[in-house]
Structure 1
Amino acid sequence: MLDDMDVDTSMGLPGGDMFEDVTELFQTAAKEMNIEEVILTPGFTLMDSMSAFEIGEPRMDSGMLQEQDNARPPFESLSPLLPEELCWIIDRSFAGEMGWYAGNMLSQTVYTLLYVHTLQDINPDVLPPQYFHSEDSTRPMQLLTSVLRPAVFAMLKNCDIVWRELSKKRVHDMEDWQSEKCEVSLLEGVPVDFIVHKLDEAYIWLRDSDLPQRWIDGLADRLALRKTLLQLFHAGHTGNLEDLKPLVAVARSTLQRVRTQPTETPPPDSPAIAAFDPHISRRLHTIMPTRELELPSQDTVWDDLERMLDGWENVDHLRENHTLLAWQVNGSLRVWLPSKPLLMPYHRSLTQHVFIDNHIVLGDYGEDWLVEQFFWETIGVSYESICEILINSWAGPGALALQEMESHIIETVSAYIRSFWFNPPRRRRHLMKAVNDWQLLQDAFGNLLQHIAAAGGPINPVLHTLPHVAALWKFTTAREVIIAGFQQELYAAYERPLAYWYIVHILESQLETLDHVKHIIPTGSFARHELDYQVQFLSVLQLICSSLFVMTSKEKQPDAERVSLNFKRRYKWLCSPREDNPEALLFELPLLEDFHRDVQDVKEAGISAEGNLRIAEDALVHLPSFVPRAHTADNEYDGRIELIECLARINKELLDFVAGDRTENAKLHWDPRSHPWFPIVVTS
């Protein structure tokens, strides 16, 4: 009996409970210290000492306890659990894990599961034998040591692998994710194979146990889901991407079984409730205090996990599509369609890694592949043919040097494709800079033509199109910058007319450029099918934007000086960096004065938006027939059809609105959750 008491004391309170009050000793010692003097032991910083004070402000005081916190049942890591309680704990551990992947802090999510901090306490190799001989067969200790422990191992290892991927700086700490580990181990040194082996052993123990079959199946499915997720993360980490598709299929099937076996929340006095502490940050080494985070409902967690599986599926799809167009369309649709939520930071980082890493594109090609595809997919002419024409036509000073131009293309194209998997604000900032990069490439092509023309010989038509090739990508980038402003809700009401007006003119320039290059693109080629679709799609977009310029130009404008200052702030990316004329535009577009004149013309002439919307309605009926099917996968084809259907629905609403078929209190409402670019009609 005495031996048992000794064991309990050592397991409950390390060092025993024979404490002595040392307050008087400290007070006596402090008398010899000066005011504002502090003694810090090695490793104990001023930040740690400040965290020890309770100042009574919940937002800043990570150590403050509320009255309801004192009422929580105490956590005992070795308290036996029922299998249904263990199922609930594992389910809620997924909530914490998904919360961290979504961009919250580990101390708010994963670390709130207290078993994360007491794994050694439930290690079967260090527990005395009597712990495994319980009289209560419904709560065997093996549920903790053989089932829960491997499940927590797998969760922490997932976080370790994700942390390693996110720390490669393809996404950004504090923007997309939180890197602070609070000096808690994520099992960095534990091999994945070891954890998989422990999960397999847990399944064998469950299969041979005397637990009710319902809970054997429920726990086995949850362990299988943990194992499959760990294998998915490991496949991305090691580059074994061919394993993604079968593993995603297994995970979906397992998740479906788990969702059909929901668990009920245990009663308040259950040890399972005590296993989670939302205020764990008060006991951790943290850089900043964190507020309590309410984790989402279990159904929401499973929905998030479904979307995570969609992310792996999309990575597998993209790695098999070796064209710039496939990546561009896939990324665009994820930005443009409200039905496609932003991927988690982990998948956005992994996708960029799959596209280009260490100068290798798609795992198979050198960077020169980007140059070849850039020309082949844009104008249907190989880069080898272009180089041959350039060499035969060159008459400039010195030898023809293309290496610098090739490097510029590689850097600009790869960054543009990767930008689809940035977070939205960062992507918009990147595209602002990319407009200038495309302009520099266009100027470089123009300089080549000038040197060739100086020789007095004829210039091959293919060479004439080179500046237009860069211009096409430039106009696409410029359009995306302005459109993204609607998606991120940057524009005030009086700014919308100018934004739509500029989009109209950029689209006009892009359509003219497409017409310039059309004559050299071989009929029936990859590039020609895409060009024909772009002409139709951009024409529809121009008609709708033109109509919205007319509809929004009735908004009251502030004074001219305010509009001018706002233009310089909002469109500074479009202004030339030349010192001789700071207000000059980077490329030829109408000036702000032309906008004021067009607004006045609309008001004085009473121009209606109805005509353009009706033309767009007719064009949208035929637009699906122009979507290239042979050169993109079904995912991209279906996505483009969905985009067209969405545009048709918005166009119909706007047409009814301007035609007077709506009630008098109808108005336009911009909500990116309904459509990223255009308003919907609502009744106030």
Structure 2
Amino acid sequence: MSTEDVILTPGFTLMDSMSAFEIGEPRMDSGMLLEQDNTRPAFEPLTPLLPEELCWIIDRSFACEMGWYAGNMLSQTVYTLLYVHTLQDINPDLLPPEYLYSQDSTRPMQLLTSVLRPAVFAMLKDCDIVWRELSKKRVYDMEDWQSEKCEVTLLEGVPVDFIIDKLDGAYTWLRSTDLPQQWIDALADRLALRKTLLQLFNTGHTGHLDDLKPLVTIARNILRRVRAHPPETPPADSPAVAAFDPHVSRRLHTVIPTRELELSPQDSVWDSLERMLDGWENINYLRENHSLLSWQVNGLLSVWLPDRPLPVSYLRSLTQHIFIDNHIVLGDYDEEWLIERFFWETTGTSYESICEVLINSWTGPGALALQEMESHIMEVVPTYIKSSWFNPPRRRRYLMKAVRDWQLLQDAFGNLIQHIAASGESVSQILHSLPLVVAVWKLTTAREIILTGLQQELYAAYERSLAYWYLAQILERHLETLDQLKPIIPPDSYAQHELEFQTQFLTVLQSMSLASFATISSERLPDPERMRLNFKRRYKWLCSPREDNPEALLFNLPSLQDFYHSLENIEEIKASVEDHLRIAQDALAHLSTAIPRTSTTDKGYEGRIELVKGLTRINDQLLDFVGNNHTESAKLQWNPRSHPWFPTVVLS
């Protein structure tokens, strides 16, 4: 053959040949068959197994399953269990009777046909249910999960009840055998865990969510027993080891060639499963909590707390599905419920009362029409609530669009009340509150955009000072808005308690932001033109689309020039760093007692306590750093895993 000649056999394409070589690109390499790969024991699906080997295989099947939920390919995870591809070979209905019963009593063939086969069935059906949920586009293929099935069945046409019957039959068979009791109990627990997980996934698929809480409790108890009695890892020449082939993608029809993936250690797998159970438990809490504020707080805390990893895509999709699906909110309400809760939970005033005031006091041309603004609320609010369960980059992109939607709604209410004749103080208060309610949500969104930039480490070192300064300005506007709302909100209402907490919380954030800005403001900034271009890129969500003034801001916030003016007084600002941190310290001391609580199991309350503890720790560190001038022995470090927003002090 001459250079550049290629011989292709029928069915073997250029893509197949390319994927046989290591080219250094992780997204393309599927890996060659190396010499050491030939030393692996050959896989024979009907090779008898010891009970302890079967326990190990089932445990590692959970590693495969959790690996796919984490966002890897099926060909890298679930399909590496070779029994997935040989279910027909271990079908007891297709094996001769003498093959089933003339076996070593320590390795009965029924361990494969009656125990392992239903366990693999359950794993594949879990994946099928998850695939169906993820394909509804609440999360995004290739961004949050991988949908490619490689033409391998996930038992799409097999009913869940059929698999549960098979698992029950396996349990009954185990209890009737002469195997060591230790391994009977171990295998029975693993079958019970497989069954319970299948039932949990099926609750989300069928909508029978009343079963969530008891099933999570059962799964936790079983998992505790499974973790307490782990099987030993079999030797390299064991047939159990041969049951997994990380290079199985070489034999599959794949669109995306994949490299070998090392599955997580078993303890990490069980930890991931524990977190998944926590996610189901949180979903059960949310579905029973019919409050916009509870959903908002729960979603924000899942983003804010650094020790809470991002839930797997399936749970994030299911959470959004439970909040609103086909225009039905929480499975019980139409979308008008969102409007009622939007005003009631922010101001303590019902939307019915607001509409009555607007209709009776309308002086504008024609009849009062609220449908457009109501539609706007019903469009913006649910997506904003669901955005806490987007992946972080997508959430930030959405928030940058949502802040404009909030501004349009605020302007619409501002125009509306110009045509309302206020006939008394109570009417005037209600009218005055309408734009303020929207402003609260708008400023919350603006705050989150900057906080997510810090949390995702988007800002260069010289950009942090501007980010903290701008965050402090937004928080100042937010606090002013809350002060204007205070006289309107009924005393002793939940809205009033929440407003008091928000006032203290925002005071803490503002004081710490100003302190952080002053502490790092000595860092050298690039030239003004470079800063202007950076500002236009980072804060484009603030910029007005007006062609006559592209430098104008969408709503009333300081400009980049105001930032430079503030730097003229930087020495005065630096002198007040400790004062700002003392203000934050005092507010944090009262914040824990100001957290509103709806019940003894209020997850928002528990999460906020954790949030306050984290802020207190960071604030104390900064106070010590500033007060003792540890400029040589310590330095500030930005690490979202230590704290998502503010720097931590580390010894140099």
Q: Fold-level match, TM-score > 0.5?
A: yes
CA distance in structure 2 between the partners assigned to 1:263 and 1:334 by the alignment: 35
Deviations 1:334-382 (A, max 9, x none): 1111122111110000000110000000011010000000000011110
Choose the corresponding residue for 1:245, options 213, 221, 229: 213
Q: For residue 429 of structure 2, what is the aligned residue in structure 1?
A: 461
Deviation at 1:469, TM superposition (A): 0.8
User: Contact 1:431–1:477 (CA<8 Å) still a contact in 2?
Assistant: yes
Q: For residue 207 of structure 1, what is the aligned residue in structure 2?
A: 175
Q: For residue 612 of structure 2, what is the aligned residue in structure 1?
A: 644
- TM-score (norm: length of structure 2): 0.96
Deviation at 1:423, TM superposition (A): 0.6
Q: For residue 223 of structure 2, what is the aligned residue in structure 1?
A: 255
CA distance in structure 2 between the partners assigned to 1:606 and 1:262 by the alignment: 57
- Aligned pairs for 1:486-525 within 5 A: 486-525=454-493
Q: 1:528 to 1:606 in 2, by over 3 A?
A: closer
Matched, 1:583 2:551: yes
Q: For residue 100 of structure 1, what is the aligned residue in structure 2?
A: 68
**Secondary structure of 1:508's partner?**
helix
5+ residue gaps in structure 1? Answer: 1-26, 28-34
Deviation at 1:129, TM superposition (A): 1.8
CA distance in structure 1 between the partners assigned to 2:445 and 2:9 by the alignment: 55
Matched, 1:596 2:564: yes
Choose the corresponding residue for 2:203, options 207, 215, 235: 235
User: Contact 2:53–2:234 (CA<8 Å) still a contact in 1?
Assistant: yes
Q: 1:638 to 1:190 in 2, by over 3 A?
A: same
**Secondary structure of 1:460's partner?**
helix
User: Contact 1:419–1:427 (CA<8 Å) still a contact in 2?
Assistant: yes
Matched, 1:366 2:343: no
User: Contact 2:406–2:442 (CA<8 Å) still a contact in 1?
Assistant: yes
Q: For residue 20 of structure 1, what is the aligned residue in structure 2?
A: none
Q: For residue 334 of structure 1, what is the aligned residue in structure 2?
A: 302
Q: 1:276 to 1:492 in 2, by over 3 A?
A: same
Deviation at 1:453, TM superposition (A): 5.7
Deviation at 1:489, TM superposition (A): 0.7
User: Contact 1:627–1:640 (CA<8 Å) still a contact in 2?
Assistant: yes
CA distance in structure 2 between the partners assigned to 1:680 and 1:327 by the alignment: 30
Matched, 1:285 2:248: no
Q: For residue 367 of structure 2, what is the aligned residue in structure 1?
A: 399
Tell me which amino acid in the other structure corresponds to 1:469: V
Q: For residue 120 of structure 1, what is the aligned residue in structure 2?
A: 88
- Aligned pairs for 1:139-158 within 5 A: 139-158=107-126
CA distance in structure 1 between the partners assigned to 2:422 and 2:105 by the alignment: 94
Q: For residue 218 of structure 1, what is the aligned residue in structure 2?
A: 186
User: Contact 1:48–1:285 (CA<8 Å) still a contact in 2?
Assistant: no
Q: For residue 130 of structure 2, what is the aligned residue in structure 1?
A: 162
CA distance in structure 2 between the partners assigned to 1:255 and 1:456 by the alignment: 63
CA distance in structure 2 between the partners assigned to 1:393 and 1:536 by the alignment: 36
CA distance in structure 1 between the partners assigned to 2:228 and 2:631 by the alignment: 46
- TM-score (norm: length of structure 1): 0.92
Matched, 1:681 2:652: no
**Secondary structure of 1:681's partner?**
strand
Deviation at 1:583, TM superposition (A): 1.4
Choose the corresponding residue for 2:139, options 151, 171, 174: 171
Tell me which amino acid in the other structure corresponds to 1:368: E
Tell me which amino acid in the other structure corresponds to 2:144: D
Q: For residue 414 of structure 2, what is the aligned residue in structure 1?
A: 446
CA distance in structure 1 between the partners assigned to 2:257 and 2:374 by the alignment: 49
Q: For residue 10 of structure 1, what is the aligned residue in structure 2?
A: none
Deviations 1:622-667 (A, max 9, x none): 1112111237952111111111111111100000000016472200
Choose the corresponding residue for 1:138, options 94, 106, 109: 106
User: Contact 2:21–2:30 (CA<8 Å) still a contact in 1?
Assistant: no
User: Contact 1:452–1:459 (CA<8 Å) still a contact in 2?
Assistant: no
CA distance in structure 1 between the partners assigned to 2:105 and 2:601 by the alignment: 55
Aligned length: 648
Q: For residue 504 of structure 2, what is the aligned residue in structure 1?
A: 536
User: Contact 2:306–2:642 (CA<8 Å) still a contact in 1?
Assistant: yes
Tell me which amino acid in the other structure corresponds to 1:90: I
Choose the corresponding residue for 1:299, options 267, 283, 288: 267
5+ residue gaps in structure 2? Answer: none
Deviation at 1:47, TM superposition (A): 5.7
Matched, 1:321 2:307: no
Q: For residue 16 of structure 1, what is the aligned residue in structure 2?
A: none
User: Contact 1:122–1:144 (CA<8 Å) still a contact in 2?
Assistant: yes
Tell me which amino acid in the other structure corresponds to 2:199: Q
Q: 1:566 to 1:528 in 2, by over 3 A?
A: same
Where in structure 1 do 4 or more consecutive aligned residues deviate above 3 Å? 35-41, 44-51, 53-61, 453-459, 603-606, 630-633
User: Contact 1:501–1:546 (CA<8 Å) still a contact in 2?
Assistant: yes
Larger-gyration structure (1/2): 1
Deviation at 1:70, TM superposition (A): 1.1
CA distance in structure 1 between the partners assigned to 2:426 and 2:80 by the alignment: 73
Q: 1:614 to 1:141 in 2, by over 3 A?
A: same
**Secondary structure of 2:419's partner?**
helix
User: Contact 1:574–1:586 (CA<8 Å) still a contact in 2?
Assistant: yes
Deviation at 1:614, TM superposition (A): 1.1
CA distance in structure 2 between the partners assigned to 1:406 and 1:581 by the alignment: 31
Choose the corresponding residue for 2:38, options 67, 70, 81: 70
Q: For residue 671 of structure 1, what is the aligned residue in structure 2?
A: 639
Q: For residue 11 of structure 1, what is the aligned residue in structure 2?
A: none
Matched, 1:91 2:64: no
Tell me which amino acid in the other structure corresponds to 2:635: K
Q: 1:440 to 1:56 in 2, by over 3 A?
A: closer
**Secondary structure of 2:523's partner?**
coil
Tell me which amino acid in the other structure corresponds to 2:278: D
User: Contact 1:543–1:616 (CA<8 Å) still a contact in 2?
Assistant: yes
**Secondary structure of 2:628's partner?**
coil
Deviation at 1:48, TM superposition (A): 5.8
Deviation at 1:389, TM superposition (A): 0.5
CA distance in structure 1 between the partners assigned to 2:503 and 2:22 by the alignment: 63
**Secondary structure of 1:258's partner?**
helix
CA distance in structure 2 between the partners assigned to 1:203 and 1:414 by the alignment: 45
Please identify, of 431-440 and 621-630, the stretch whose mean Cα deviation from structure 2 is larger.
Answer: 621-630
Choose the corresponding residue for 2:523, options 552, 555, 558: 555
**Secondary structure of 1:671's partner?**
coil
Q: For residue 564 of structure 1, what is the aligned residue in structure 2?
A: 532
CA distance in structure 2 between the partners assigned to 1:432 and 1:315 by the alignment: 27
**Secondary structure of 1:278's partner?**
coil
Q: 1:211 to 1:469 in 2, by over 3 A?
A: same
Tell me which amino acid in the other structure corresponds to 2:198: L
Deviations 1:138-161 (A, max 9, x none): 111101000000000000000000
CA distance in structure 1 between the partners assigned to 2:187 and 2:528 by the alignment: 68
Choose the corresponding residue for 1:416, options 380, 384, 400: 384
User: Contact 1:333–1:639 (CA<8 Å) still a contact in 2?
Assistant: yes
Q: For residue 3 of structure 1, what is the aligned residue in structure 2?
A: none
Please identify, of 338-347 and 427-436, the stretch whose mean Cα deviation from structure 2 is larger.
Answer: 338-347
Q: 1:328 to 1:458 in 2, by over 3 A?
A: closer
Q: Percent identity?
A: 71
Deviations 1:583-638 (A, max 9, x none): 11111111101101212311477534111101211221111121112379521111
Matched, 1:266 2:263: no
